[in-house]
Each structure stands twice: as C-alpha cells, then as structure tokens.
Amino acid sequence: MSLNHRYYVTTVADEGENSFKMPRASVVHMTSTATRPQHMSQVLATLALSMGTLSSGLAKGYTSPALDSILDNQPPHLYQSSNNDTWSAFSVTQQEASWVASLSMLGAWFGAMIGDWVMRRGRRLALRVTSLPLAVVWILTGIAPCVELVYVTSFIGGLCCSVITMVAQVYISEISMPGIRGCLSAMLKVLGHVGVLLSYIAGTYLNWRQSALLVAIAPSMLFLGTLFIPETPSYLVLNGKDDEAATSLQWLRGDHVDIRHELQVIKTNILASRAKQYELTFKNSVFTPRLYKPIAITCGLMFFQRFSGANAFNYYAVIIFRQTLGGMNPHGATIAIGFVQLLASLLSGFLIDIVGRLPLLIASTVFMSLALAGFGSYAYYMSQTQNLGYAPDSAVVGQHDWIPLLCVLVFTTALALGISPISWLLIGELFPLEYRGLGSSISTSFSYFCAFVGIKLFMDFQQTLGLHGAFWFYAAVAVCGLCFVVCCVPETKGKQLDEMNPDYAQAR
C-alpha cells in the first residue's frame, strides 16, 4: 500500500530587526489521492509510553492508603520479614507523614524545571534515564529501614514522574497523525487515572511496603518499552539526523507508505520555528503581554486548583475518611473517589469542546465551593458531638456516612470535569508557539510548587483550624477561584491557536 500526497508550502516573510527578512509562518496545504498511513505502530508506541503515565497515577494514588498504613498500628508481620532484620518496623509522626506526601511534589517541581533540558538530549533517552531509576526508587521504598530513606525516594520518585509525564506528552504530539493525536493523548490521561484507582484498590489489601513493590512493575515495563520504540522524527530533524528521522517516520507510518513529503514538511516547519525564535530577545520575551498575561492566567488557575482541597483528598483521603465516616470502610470510600474520577475524566474530554472552557470552569468552582463547605460543616458537626461526649447508639453508627461521601464525590466530579483538565489545556492554548516552551515550564513548575506547599500544610491546617476549619478555608479559596475565572479567564473554544493570544492581548 502506498500513499501519494501533494504538499504546497507557503512561507510568509516578516521583517525583523535591521530589516532582515525572516520566515514568519508556514502554511501547508495537503491533498490526498490514496489511503491513509497505518496507525498500528503509533498505537503500539503509545501503549509503551502509557506505562509512564500509569506509573505517575500509581504514585499519586499510592500515598493516601500508604500514609494510613504507616500511621496505623498494624500487626508486625505486615512490616517484618521472617528474619526480623530486613523489613524492620518504624513509626512516624503526622508531620513526618506530611513530608512523605509532599516531598514527591517538591521533586516534581525540580523535574519540571529540568524537564526541557533533559528532553533536549532526546525524548527516548529521557524516558530511559528516568524510568529505570523510578523502578529502583519504588523497590527501595518497599524495603526502607527508616523514614529518612522514604523521604529521599519520595523526592526522586516525584522528579522522575514529572519528567516522564512531560516527555510522554511531547513524544505523542511529535509521532502521531493529526486524526488520532487526540485519541492517543487521551489514552495517556485515562491510564493515569486508572493508575490512581489501582493504587487505591491495592492499598485496601496490601500494606505500604507491598504496594510500593507492586508499583515498581509499571516503570520497569516502561523501560522495556523504550527499547523497541524509535526516537521522534521531529527531534532527529532538529538535530540534523535526517536519515534516522526518515527511518523513524517510516516505522511510525508503515513500511509501504511514502514519507518523503511529510518529512519535508517537518523540516520546513522546524526551520520556520527556528527563524521565529532567532528574533526573540530576553527583553521582548519577558515584557510582552503575549507571555506574561497567559502566565498570570495559567498560574492563577493552578494556584486555586492546588489550594482548594484537591491535594487533601488525593493524598490524605483514607485518613480524612477515618475521621468522618462511622460505619463505612474508608478504603472503600477512597476507591469510590478513584472510580468517579476516572469516569469524570472520560466525560470531560467530550464536554470541554461541546460546552466550552469558561462555562465548565464556572460550574466546576461553584460545585467545588458548595461541596467543600458541606464537608466542612459535617466535620464540624462530628467534632461538636464528640466534644459534648455524645455517644451514638450502635444501631445508628454510620447512618449519615452518605453526607460526607456525597460531598467528596461532588467535589471530585466538579474538579475532574472543570478546573483540573482545563488548567492544563489552557497552557497549550494560551501561549503562542515561540513562547510555549518557556511559558509551559513556568506554569508547570508553579503548579508543582503549589502542590508541595498545599500537601505539606494540610496537617498544619488540620491541627490549627481543625478538619472543619481546613475545609472551610478550601471552600473560601474555591470562591476566590470563581471570581478569578469570571474576571480573568478568556473563552478559547473554537479558536485557532494562532489567533488566541492576539485576540486576548487586545481584549485585555
């Protein structure tokens, strides 16, 4: 099977400094007279990379049941080997547990800052040098003799997961055909939520050591998968390796597909992108509204997302449910959260393009505020009944468990349908091409830093304000986020990427 395309490339000149003509944009027109390229190789490459996002999801879901397992006084046989000298038990305080949870986000912050530098050495190489250490880190966590080693593994694991997630998205965008790019990207996202759910389920039956050893399987499979996939053609062309780029593109499109025209288009687009970057200086990059206004919007959304209780439920769900549920198993409630989060993430992909970004953001923050306020009110009711010494009859214990569970499920659904996916989507939509690398790096780093601070401070909020006060605070932050969305966030539904920032800069 062969493919015959005709490409017409039009280069529009732009006058840069010193009246030097630089190519501003390349418009590619394509006509097809035969069948499309094969997609199987692209799907197989995506399946290999999906082990990376699965690893990140497993790591994210691991923390909540693991912290409960570490803090709980469980039978020694869950912690010790038959020799009583390999898997020794150790105890941790609530503050130490908060460091275990938050250091992974601190590592992710550093990973976001060095991710671009690592990717410049090769997308496939970046996946290899992070996946194997990540597997080792989880094995060390499973056999850690002290909490200090868990601190180190948590930090390194967060760094590796951050780089893997970043590189996986770039790899998919560079190897996939436009017609299936959205589907392949969605596959990575879904596998991340599946990883969270699997960790919640595993934490119900396994202790934190056994769960860590189980999580180590996913990055090991990612490393093996990278041995069979090629480097991306765009990266190879960017580094002057045209022959290797042709071989890679041929593998991705199929043995009988004529890839010469597509390879030429890649070269043309990269040259045009380079020419635009040559015009940029530090001054006109930092002080242009095309950069700092999208940074303000995306960082603002990240701030309100991270400080509105999302991290509390993701990393302390089992501990929180133990304080609010009377008869229901807290692990079962946590699994329900993971399942609803997975379903909502599947639905969000359809609603974002149908309903629009702004209506979903508004609805998301409204329902998040109501759910957080309701959960905080129920926690306040529980604390008051305990302070008054009221002991409920065993027949009515757990009778009202549906109230906090409903609040958490509403919050999780609103978060997964609105501010969580859209805040990341806007990073790709608001930044123009020449600033997208710098802008996305700044926004992503800021998001991880806010996550680190939010996770670390949850225990302090709970000790200072009480569980109810902490969630009332989160509700207040969500209300502020609603005001920010209404006043500052533009609607980007149906707009072409090239026209978004000019329209926004003029409107604002």
* pLDDT tens track for 436-494: 667 777 888 898 999 999 999 998 898 899 899 999 999 999 999 999 999 988 877 65
- What number of other Cβ atoms are within 10 A of residue 81's Cβ? 11
Q: What pLDDT was estimated at residue 495?
A: 57
Write the CATH number for 181.
1.20.1250.20
What span, in angstroms and rounded, lies between the C-alpha atoms of 328 and 322? 9
Which residue, of 229, 248, 267, is where some domain finishes?
229
For residue 82, pLDDT beyond 80: no
Q: Rounded to two decimals, what is the model's pTM? A: 0.78
What span, in angstroms and rounded, lies between the C-alpha atoms of 113 and 443? 10
Tell me the CA distances in angstroms from 137 to 85, 123, 142, 444, one per residue in order.
20, 21, 9, 23
Residue 325's domain spans which residues?
A: 290-507
Same domain, 337 and 409: yes
Phi, psi (rounded to 5 degrees) for 111: -60, -40
For residue 263, pLDDT beyond 70: yes
Same domain, 206 and 299: no
For residue 280, pLDDT beyond 80: no
- Do 318 and 67 contact (CB within 8 A), yes or no? yes
Maximum distance among all alpha carbons in the chain?
85
For residue 218, pLDDT beyond 90: yes
Confidence band, pLDDT 50/70/90 cuts, at residue 276: low
What span, in angstroms and rounded, lies between the C-alpha atoms of 267 and 249? 13
What span, in angstroms and rounded, lies between the C-alpha atoms of 247 and 245? 5
- Residue found under tokens 């996202």: 189
Q: Which residues pair with 11 in a beta bridge?
A: 26
Same domain, 337 and 407: yes
Q: How far is CA 469 from the centre of its chain?
A: 28
Same domain, 209 and 320: no
As a whole number, mean pLDDT of residues 66-75 equals: 70
What total of structural domains would you count in the chain?
Answer: 2
Which residue, of 177, 207, 229, is where some domain finishes?
229
Same domain, 340 and 201: no
* Low-confidence winner among 18-22, 147-151, 302-306 (lowest mean pLDDT): 18-22
- Do 479 and 487 contact (CB within 8 A), yes or no? no
* Low-confidence winner among 102-111, 369-378, 417-426 (lowest mean pLDDT): 417-426
For residue 267, pLDDT beyond 80: no
- Do 163 and 114 contact (CB within 8 A), yes or no? yes
Same domain, 342 and 489: yes
The SS3 of residue 424 is: helix
Quick check: is 80 in a domain? no
Which residue, of 184, 202, 229, is where some domain finishes?
229
* pLDDT tens track for 239-258: 888 888 888 888 888 877 77
Quick check: is 236 in a domain? no
As a whole number, mean pLDDT of residues 367-384 equals: 91
Quick check: is 244 in a domain? no
- Residue found under tokens 């005001």: 483
- Residue found under tokens 């390229």: 37
Quick check: is 283 in a domain? no
